[in-house]
Amino acid sequence: MMEAVFLFCTDAGAGPDGKLSIHGIFNELLAPDFPARQDKMVLVGIIEWQRDLEGRIPFTVNLNDPDGLSIFSIEGHTDVETRPASKAPAKTQLILPLKKVMFPVPGHYRVQININGTELAGPSMHLMRS
């Protein structure tokens, strides 16, 4: 069983000790007019893999508008290593900068993540008129 947590934040980074530092977690943005542009935000995630999964694992991340249509998409992969039972399961830390994202209308936006054919619901974002 795979476990995953994803958040929107202003900045994130991985230290030399392998720990993930996350700054400025949020789920709401304000804009005076629409369409609205967010110059930079970060989608950060940690995935803990099931022990029998290894190798190159593809993923797709879609940010969907209130009607369910994708307004921003990222495709990539991660390499999952084999870990012995004496160690914690393999993990992947994803730090995905999202730049110049256009939000066409106010409303509730959702992230949909597909990892190796498994659909996961990511975080949501509320775009409000200021």
Q: Tell me if the bond preceding 106 is cis, omega within 30° of 0.
A: no
**What local confidence, expressed as pLDDT, does residue 80 receive?**
95
Could you give the number of structural domains in the chain?
A: 1
Please check whether residue 18 lies inside any domain of the structure: no
**What local confidence, expressed as pLDDT, does residue 1 receive?**
62
Chunked mean pLDDT (size 10), the chain, 130 residues: 91 93 97 96 95 92 97 95 92 95 97 92 95
**What local confidence, expressed as pLDDT, does residue 116 receive?**
85
Please check whether residue 57 lies inside any domain of the structure: yes
Q: What is the CATH number of the domain that holds 116?
A: 2.60.40.2550
Cα dihedral 22, 26, 31, 36, rounded to 10, equals: 60
E strand intervals along the chain: 3-9, 11-14, 20-23, 28-31, 36-48, 55-64, 70-80, 91-103, 107-115, 118-129
**What local confidence, expressed as pLDDT, does residue 2 receive?**
83
**What local confidence, expressed as pLDDT, does residue 29 receive?**
97
Q: Which structural domain, as residue segments, surrounds residue 98?
A: 3-13+23-129
